[in-house]
């Protein structure tokens, strides 16, 4: 008896939940209104069946519950009824399938005038490529991918030279124009998803997949990876900013083309030595770091990382938060350097001898080892730093500094700037760490060589 | 092909003498069934604990230091793999299949008892290898239960070295075990039925197990093939599935392989696997409903045909798991159509279950409650499947919590409710004692309502766009704070369910000694397993003479009969004249 | 995949067809049906259980090899596929396997005729040919290896090692059973009746593995596309007719 009542309550509750729960589609920002409509049709058809079957069942349980002297009927089958039910079900299936296939036909038929954009996924970030003036993307190969050519564009292919490269996970698109997104992965399977656009598609290494949509509303939208791609899957975020055409064009014009892109000029270590003098005051003449002045060790750090941090400090992407006292100090110094000087300084730092920083913290390295499994995914098994994941070297660096930065990331002091994508990623990871585990982790990193 | 009448072909059974041959190296299908079940439930409890850990992280993110992002993915992977393969497949076929098939068809044992024993030993080995993968350096694989390459074998995923290899080896061993068992079940059903047990007199439980086993025999090789090829890719550097990739900033030697090829192979197994779990549940629930509603199953023939139709169709729907995988987009039309067609036989089964209740005499005992709970959750899970099977609707929902809600409802909660119902139903036959009714009801309500509270909201999170397999959501613009609140609520409900399982375990153990004596046929069921001369049935099942079936399995409330059920082995001369549970 | 899907459909279809042939449309609750079922007692296949089991196992193996071939066909379509020149030795190996299968068939007839010496000789012969086949396969591996085609060097080579290796493993499994049967004949001078079933089943298994091998051999030589190779064969047959 109770079960009949509960079934009725569950049906009623589900309906109430359906109509009153605050969780529903995000407001749509693309042309795929039809997808929402197909979902709605499906909800109506299945909802009616759900209510009908369960209420009928509840009634049957109530009506035919066991009472003294009751006896069931003997009723092996009822062909007519069964065929009727089959026919009605088939009708319902057709009602759902037909619009579904109709919309699918539209989805796989890309409009001719669609702008072609390539989205490139890798563990665990996004970058993008526009075809440039010739309207054609240059050939690429996984074999050509390296630090200086992260897109793997074939330098011999003339079509690739004018390709516009977007090194940031933030993509701008013009409103109201259909976009054909070509999807390419460098390592594992990813999936490009913007919930507001409704459509999504996997990026499959070894092949190029596609999808298309027309952004219909200006604004900024999160890009999520929705195909499990490893430890930092949940932190693989990007952003699509939909602009009015002129704003978009202005943004596009600021992005480098492939032929301009191997910018990181070698940097002049000799010139850098002079520029390093103010740095040496705190960080030490050999860049060995000085805990009493809150200056971390620099020598031995990857130069692309140092250059990025200096640039971030300079542009207020790092060291701008109120609680970041030492970061603010650094930002003041960084603002004195121009882009060329930054390259020179990091070139000089690269020449400095790399001596192990003196451990300042104690912790349980054995416990730290298991925690480090997550860190290793980006920073490498030996904490050596990995350019492709934007992860700096950790081994042999100042442990007290690592601990402080972990705390900064956890507390939102660092990594909160909207342009600091690697920082945001690190903040995700640092939040997974408990305060009391930080010393254990750093103790383990101290043991790496 | 020639046919012979089923004679009283009695088989020569091995004759266990010592404790070891009786209970450890036993060739008795009932002992093997219990071994299978206990192992499956034990490993299933591990998976349950893992799901609790995942819920703790999702409900209270960044609170527990022992749940790191890489652990979390390992929990997800192990949870899924254990639940689908090592628990549900093993329990339905190795456990229930082993126990019920020979008894229900009126045989003394499986036709190949020695191979049956080996099957369990090999299954145990596969479980041990799986457990071993958890203690090797790097831990178990965290690639998700789908194990997609290249991810599964590259260093950005935990357990990419030994973990994944042991996982694949364990699967390969499991498949060998399954094949040995499966050949047994099918051959037994085909060849060892007792006299008079025609195919259409078989209870639907046997039909479900029969078809599920055939699906397993044909589909598991796909998993084996992909496991072998992935091991070669991982260990010996072949490029079956591995294209040229750049991992951790370094180019690897692989070239030209296709990750999508793996996905095809995996889902060619993976989709039938859903029915390998579902069909035995369908069969069992049909029998529970019929017995406890004291009414024949409605539309028996249609039920059998539906099982066959679902079995056939399940081999041509696999790529509906791959709508967003970048495969040829034209496949979408075909697979969406086949997938929605499969809804029709499935819907027929649901109608017939509900129509079995109509005009019944419904005894709301614990197994019946679970059966009704199953219909409710299965209707829900089946209907949400129509969203995901329809290629267009799948696009926004794929890889979100909608999928998590859907597959847990349809192949997690629903089959598990049937497992519980079946245990409450057959426990009296297996042990001779009843399970405690009050504890059983408590267990049912907590599990059923808890499960609905867990999975209903997930569908709506999915529509909102919350992605699955995320360690933490962090600050994401489109995800409101209320999502975090509902995650807390889901976690609380999940912990309640987990606690309810302790009640169930207690009941299982306590009733062994303290349960009410059951007698041989406490529910007044018609099928042969309730007509054994001894309860629990002894080795050889039937005493001196094999039973003979004189009627189909659903003679309940036959007009004119004195009793409201007539056992299958009751000779036609004396219809309904026997007392409850009498032996022929 | 379509190959495998087709096979699975056909296999389940056969099961379904067979079941329908067993009057799956009957109404088991009707009086007339009850009486006829009780009179006949039902029916099963007129085969020993072991034989039914073996047929099922062969279905499983067909699915297994069918899926491997499907995977091969799909991998072939990808850009980097370079077909492998298979060693000529395989022709000789094929002859060995044919001979082994023939010898088993002959042994089977010898059992039927009750010719004990013939059975023993036939068994030994079929075993020897099978070993020769396996040795030949290993030799072919060595030749390939010597010519610089390693497992990891390209996909076609990898498939060659994989397919021949798995086929060889299945044959080795068969040889284990063959060994047991032969030993029984030797040791206890078993009556032919006792080994009859074993020999029949072995022969069936051998013929099956021969058929698998012939298909695999054709597949391994099919160049760059399974479909076009299949069409070539078909058109050749049509022309020959």
B26 located within any domain:
no
- pLDDT tens by residue, A379-406: 999 999 999 999 999 999 999 999 999 9
Q: Which of A35, A74, A78 comes nearest B392 by C-beta?
A: A35
| Best of A76, A82, A143 to mutate (most C CBs within 10 Å, chain C) | A76
Fold match between A264-355 and A359-449? yes
Count chain A–chain C contacts defined by CB atoms under 8 A: 3
Please tell me which chains touch C, using 3 or more CB pairs under 8 Å as the contact test. Answer: A, B
Chain A residues whose CB is inside 8 A of the C29 CB are: 76
Residues A89-113 have a mean pLDDT of 94
B491 located within any domain:
yes
Residues C143-156 have a mean pLDDT of 89
- Name the B residues in 309-348 with CB < 8 Å from any C CB: 311-312, 315-316, 318
One domain for residues B388 and B502: yes
Identify the pLDDT of residue B577.
45
A359-449 domain in CATH 1.10.10.410? no
Q: What is the CA radius of gyration of chain C?
A: 22
Is 60 exceeded by the pLDDT of residue A438? Answer: yes
Any C CB within 8 A of A76 CB: yes
Alpha carbon of A195 to those of A233, A239, A373, B343: distances in Å?
17, 12, 31, 28
Chain B residues whose CB is inside 8 A of the A240 CB are: none
- pLDDT tens by residue, B494-505: 999 999 999 999
Identify the pLDDT of residue B579.
43
- Is B221's CB within 8 Å of C52's CB? no
Using the Cα atoms of residue B413, residue B415, residue B418 and residue B419 in order, give the sign of their dihedral: negative
How many angstroms from the chain centroid is the CA of residue B191?
A: 25
- What is the rounded distance in angstroms from the CA atom of residue B468 to the CA atom of residue B400? 5
- Chain C positions contacting chain A at CB under 8 Å are 27, 29
Distance from CA of A345 to the nearest CA of B (A): 24
- pLDDT tens by residue, B352-382: 999 999 999 999 999 999 999 999 999 999 9
Closest B-chain CA to C162: B229
Any B CB within 8 A of C21 CB: no
Q: Which helix (H) or strand (E) holds A219?
A: strand A219-225
Closest A-chain CA to B403: A226
- Is B200's CB within 8 Å of C15's CB? no
Identify the pLDDT of residue C1.
67
Per-residue 3-state assignment (H helix, E strand, C coil) for A167-218: CCCEEEEECCCCEEEEEEECCCCEEEECHHHCCEEEECCCCCEEEEECECCC
Q: Which of B191, B198, B239 comes nearest C155 by C-beta?
A: B239
Is 90 exceeded by the pLDDT of residue A223? Answer: yes
One domain for residues B570 and B468: no
Residues A262-276 have a mean pLDDT of 78
Residues A280-284 have a mean pLDDT of 92
Distance from CA of C24 to the nearest CA of A (A): 15
Query: Bigger pLDDT: C192 or C100?
Result: C100
Point out the domain boundary residue: B477, B500, B518: B518
The number of folded domains in chain B is 2
Q: Which of C4, C23, C80 comes nearest B255 by C-beta?
A: C80
Identify the pLDDT of residue B574.
53
Buried/exposed A20-59: b ≥16 CB within 10 Å, e otherwise: ebebebbebbbbbebbbebbebbbebbeebbeebbebbbb
B132 located within any domain:
no
- What is the rounded distance in angstroms from the CA atom of residue A154 to the CA atom of residue B455? 49
- What is the rounded distance in angstroms from the CA atom of residue B321 to the CA atom of residue B335? 9
- pLDDT averaged over every residue in chain C: 87
Please tell me which chains touch A, using 3 or more CB pairs under 8 Å as the contact test. Answer: B, C
Identify the pLDDT of residue A239.
95
Report residue C20's pLDDT band, with 50, 70 and 90 as the boundaries.
low
Q: Which of C26, C42, C53 comes nearest B197 by C-beta?
A: C42
Residues B408-427 have a mean pLDDT of 96
Chain B residues whose CB is inside 8 A of the C43 CB are: 3-6, 198
Q: Is A402 exposed, middle or buried (0-12, 13-18, 19+ CB in 10 A)?
A: buried
CB proximity list for C39: less than 8 A, separation 6 or greater: none
- Which residues on adjacent β-strands are paired with residue A257? A164
- Which residues on adjacent β-strands are paired with residue A121? A126, A185
Residues B286-292 have a mean pLDDT of 97
Structure tokens at A274: 């002079």
Query: Among A85-99, B85-99, B410-424, C187-201, which is the least confidently predicted range?
Result: C187-201
One domain for residues B512 and B537: no
By residue range, what is the domain housing residue B451? Answer: 382-518
One domain for residues B453 and B506: yes
- Is A198's CB within 8 Å of B396's CB? yes
Query: Among B268-282, B387-401, C103-117, C121-135, which is the least confidently predicted range?
Result: C103-117
One domain for residues B457 and B506: yes
Contact B23, B73 (CB under 8 A): no
Any B CB within 8 A of C128 CB: no
Q: Where are the domains of chain A?
A: 2-66+81-107, 115-254, 264-355, 359-449
- pLDDT averaged over every residue in chain B: 92
Is 60 exceeded by the pLDDT of residue B584? Answer: no
- pLDDT tens by residue, C73-83: 999 888 888 88
- Is C8's CB within 8 Å of B253's CB? no
- What is the rounded distance in angstroms from the CA atom of residue A291 to the CA atom of residue B381? 59
Residues B533-547 have a mean pLDDT of 89
Identify the pLDDT of residue C12.
74
One domain for residues B537 and B415: no
Report residue B7's pLDDT band, with 50, 70 and 90 as the boundaries.
very low
Identify the pLDDT of residue B14.
66
One domain for residues B479 and B574: no
Is 90 exceeded by the pLDDT of residue A48? Answer: yes
Is 80 exceeded by the pLDDT of residue A141? Answer: yes
Identify the pLDDT of residue B12.
59
Identify the pLDDT of residue B545.
87
- pLDDT tens by residue, B217-264: 999 999 999 999 999 999 999 999 999 999 988 999 999 899 999 999
Is 50 exceeded by the pLDDT of residue A232? Answer: yes
- Is C28's CB within 8 Å of B218's CB? no
- pLDDT tens by residue, A198-208: 999 999 999 99
Alpha helix segments (H runs only) across A255-302: 269-283
* Of A239, A267, A441, the residue nearest A341 (C-alpha): A267
The CATH-assigned architecture of domain A264-355 is: Orthogonal Bundle (1.10)
Distance from CA of A193 to the nearest CA of B (A): 9
Identify the pLDDT of residue B529.
95
- pLDDT tens by residue, B76-133: 999 999 999 999 999 999 999 999 999 999 999 999 999 999 999 999 999 999 999 9
Identify the pLDDT of residue C16.
73
The third-level CATH classification (topology) of the domain covering A115-254 is Immunoglobulin-like (2.60.40)
Report residue A312's pLDDT band, with 50, 70 and 90 as the boundaries.
very high
Point out the domain boundary residue: B461, B492, B518: B518
Chain A residues whose CB is inside 8 A of the B405 CB are: none
Query: Bigger pLDDT: A435 or B2?
Result: A435
One domain for residues B440 and B456: yes
Count chain B–chain C contacts defined by CB atoms under 8 A: 195
CB proximity list for C4: less than 8 A, separation 6 or greater: B222, B268, C63, C66, C67, C69, C70
One domain for residues B421 and B504: yes
- Which residues on adjacent β-strands are paired with residue A213? A179
Structure tokens at B80: 């899924």
Query: Among B315-324, B520-529, C21-30, C196-205, which is the least confidently predicted range?
Result: C21-30
Please tell me which chains touch B, using 3 or more CB pairs under 8 Å as the contact test. Answer: A, C
Domains and CATH numbers, chain C: 1-43 (no CATH), 50-240 (1.20.120.80)
């Amino acid at each position: 008896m109770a079960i009949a009542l509960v079934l009725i309550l569950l049906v009623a509750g589900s309906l109430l939940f359906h109509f009153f729960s605050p969780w529903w589609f995000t407001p749509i920002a693309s042309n795929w209104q039809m997808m929402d409509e197909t979902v709605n049709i499906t909800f109506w058809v299945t909802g009616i069946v759900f209510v009908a079957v369960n209420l009928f069942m509840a009634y049957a349980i109530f009506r035919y519950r066991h009472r003294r002297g009751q006896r069931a009927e003997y009723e092996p089958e009822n062909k007519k009824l069964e065929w009727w039910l089959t026919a009605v079900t088939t009708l319902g299936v057709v009602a759902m399938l037909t619009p579904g296939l109709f919309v699918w036909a539209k989805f796989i038929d890309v409009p001719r005038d669609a702008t072609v954009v390539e989205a490139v996924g890798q563990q665990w970030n996004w970058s993008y490529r526009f075809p440039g003036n010739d309207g054609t993307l240059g050939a690429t190969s996984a074999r050509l991918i390296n630090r200086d050519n992260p897109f793997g564009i074939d330098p011999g292919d003339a079509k690739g030279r004018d390709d516009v490269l977007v090194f940031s996970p933030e993509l701008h698109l013009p409103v109201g124009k259909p976009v054909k997104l070509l999807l390419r992965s460098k390592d594992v399977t990813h999936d490009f998803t913007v919930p507001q656009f409704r459509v999504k598609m996997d990026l499959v290494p070894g092949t190029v997949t596609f999808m298309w949509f027309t952004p219909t509303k200006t604004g900024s939208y999160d890009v999520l990876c929705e195909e499990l791609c490893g430890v930092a899957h949940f932190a693989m975020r990007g952003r699509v900013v939909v602009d009015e055409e002129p704003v978009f064009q202005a943004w596009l014009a600021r992005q480098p083309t492939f032929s301009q892109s191997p910018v990181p000029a070698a940097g002049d270590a000799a010139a850098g030595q002079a520029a390093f003098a103010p740095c040496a005051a705190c960080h030490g003449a050999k860049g060995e770091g000085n805990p009493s002045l809150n200056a971390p060790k620099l020598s031995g750090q990857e130069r692309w990382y140092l250059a990025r941090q200096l640039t971030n400090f300079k542009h207020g992407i790092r060291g701008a938060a109120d609680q970041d006292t030492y970061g603010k100090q650094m930002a003041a110094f960084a603002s004195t350097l121009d882009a060329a000087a930054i390259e020179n300084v990091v070139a000089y730092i690269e020449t400095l001898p790399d001596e192990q920083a003196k451990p300042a913290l104690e912790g349980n390295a054995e416990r730290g080892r298991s925690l480090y499994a997550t860190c290793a995914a980006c920073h490498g098994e030996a904490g050596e730093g990995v350019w492709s994941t934007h992860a700096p070297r950790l081994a042999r660096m100042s442990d007290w500094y690592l601990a402080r930065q972990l705390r900064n990331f956890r507390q939102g002091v660092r990594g909160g700037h909207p342009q600091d994508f690697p920082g945001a990623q690190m903040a995700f990871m640092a939040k997974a760490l408990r305060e009391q585990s930080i010393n254990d982790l750093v103790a383990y990193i101290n043991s790496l060589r | 092909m020639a046919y012979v009448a089923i004679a009283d072909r009695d088989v020569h059974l091995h004759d266990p003498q010592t404790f070891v041959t009786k209970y450890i190296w036993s060739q008795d299908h009932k002992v093997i069934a219990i071994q299978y079940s206990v192992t499956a439930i034990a490993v299933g409890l591990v998976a349950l604990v893992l799901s609790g850990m995942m819920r703790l992280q999702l409900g209270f993110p960044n609170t527990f230091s022992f749940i790191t992002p890489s652990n979390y993915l390992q929990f997800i992977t192990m949870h899924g793999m254990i639940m689908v393969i090592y628990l549900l497949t093993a329990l339905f076929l190795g456990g229930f299949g082993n126990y019920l098939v020979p008894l229900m068809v009126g045989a003394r044992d499986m036709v190949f008892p020695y191979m049956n024993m080996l099957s369990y030993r090999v299954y145990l080995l596969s479980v041990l290898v799986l457990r071993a993968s958890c203690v090797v350096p790097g831990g178990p694989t965290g690639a998700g239960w789908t194990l997609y390459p290249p991810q599964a074998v590259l260093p950005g995923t935990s357990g990419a070295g030994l973990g994944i290899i042991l996982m694949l080896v364990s699967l390969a061993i499991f498949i060998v075990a399954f094949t040995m068992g499966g050949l047994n079940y099918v051959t037994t059903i085909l060849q060892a039925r007792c006299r008079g047990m025609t195919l259409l007199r078989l209870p639907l439980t046997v039909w479900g197990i029969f078809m599920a086993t055939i699906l397993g025999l044909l589909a598991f090789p796909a998993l084996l093939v992909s496991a072998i090829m992935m091991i070669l890719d991982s260990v010996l550097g072949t490029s079956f599935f591995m294209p040229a990739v750049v991992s951790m900033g370094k180019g690897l030697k692989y070239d030209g392989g296709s990750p999508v090829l793996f996905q095809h192979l995996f889902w060619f197994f993976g989709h039938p696997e859903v029915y390998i779990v579902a069909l035995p549940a369908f069969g069992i629930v049909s029998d529970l409903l019929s017995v406890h509603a004291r009414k024949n199953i409605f539309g028996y023939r249609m039920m059998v045909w539906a099982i066959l139709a679902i079995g056939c169709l399940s081999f041509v729907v696999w790529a509906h798991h791959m709508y967003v995988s970048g495969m040829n987009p034209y496949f979408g039309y075909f697979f969406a159509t086949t997938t929605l067609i499969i809804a029709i036989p499935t819907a027929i089964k649901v109608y017939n279950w509900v129509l079995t209740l109509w005009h019944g005499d419904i005894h709301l005992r614990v197994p019946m409650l679970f059966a009704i709970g199953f219909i409710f959750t299965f209707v829900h899970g089946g209907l949400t499947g129509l969203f995901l099977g329809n290629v267009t609707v799948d696009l926004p929902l794929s890889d979100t919590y909608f999928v998590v809600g859907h597959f847990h409802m349809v192949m997690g909660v629903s089959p598990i409710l049937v497992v519980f119902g079946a245990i409450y139903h057959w426990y009296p036959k297996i042990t001779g004692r009843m399970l405690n009714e009050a504890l059983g009801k408590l267990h049912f309500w907590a599990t059923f309502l808890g499960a609905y509270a867990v999975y209903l909201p997930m569908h709506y999170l999915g529509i909102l766009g919350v992605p699955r397999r995320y360690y933490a959501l962090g600050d994401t613009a489109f995800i409101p704070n209320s999502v975090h609140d509902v995650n807390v609520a889901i976690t609380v409900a999940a912990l309640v369910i987990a606690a309810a399982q302790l009640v169930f375990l207690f009941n299982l153990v306590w009733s062994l000694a303290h349960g009410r004596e059951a007698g041989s046929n406490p529910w007044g069921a018609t099928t042969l397993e309730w007509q054994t001369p001894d309860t629990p049935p002894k080795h050889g099942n039937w005493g001196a003479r094999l039973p003979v079936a004189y009627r189909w399995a659903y003679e309940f409330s036959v007009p004119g009969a004195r009793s409201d059920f007539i056992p299958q082995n009751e000779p036609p001369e004396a219809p309904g004249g026997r007392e409850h549970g009498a032996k022929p | 995949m379509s190959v495998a899907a087709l096979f699975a459909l056909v296999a389940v279809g056969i099961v379904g067809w067979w079941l329908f042939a067993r009057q799956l449309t009957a109404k088991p609750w009707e009086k007339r049906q009850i009486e006829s079922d009780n009179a006949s007692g039902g029916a099963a296949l007129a085969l020993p259980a072991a034989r039914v089991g073996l047929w099922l196992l062969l279905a499983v193996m067909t699915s297994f090899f069918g899926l491997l071939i499907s995977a091969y066909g799909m991998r072939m379509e990808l850009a980097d596929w370079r077909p492998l020149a298979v060693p000529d030795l395989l022709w000789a190996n094929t002859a060995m396997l044919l001979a082994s299968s023939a010898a088993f068939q002959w042994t089977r007839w010898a059992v039927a005729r009750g010719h004990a010496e013939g059975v023993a000789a036939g068994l030994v012969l079929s075993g020897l040919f099978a070993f020769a086949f396996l040795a030949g396969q290993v030799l072919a591996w060595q030749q390939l290896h010597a010519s610089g085609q390693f497992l990891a060097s390209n996909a076609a080579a990898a498939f060659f090692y994989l397919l021949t290796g798995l086929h060889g493993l299945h044959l080795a499994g068969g040889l284990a059973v063959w060994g047991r049967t032969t030993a029984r004949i030797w040791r206890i001078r078993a009556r032919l009746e006792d080994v009859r079933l074993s020999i029949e089943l072995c022969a069936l298994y051998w013929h099956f593995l021969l058929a698998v091998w012939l298909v695999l051999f054709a597949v391994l030589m099919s160049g760059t596309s399974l479909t076009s190779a299949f069409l070539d064969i078909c058109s050749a047959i049509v022309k020959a007719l």
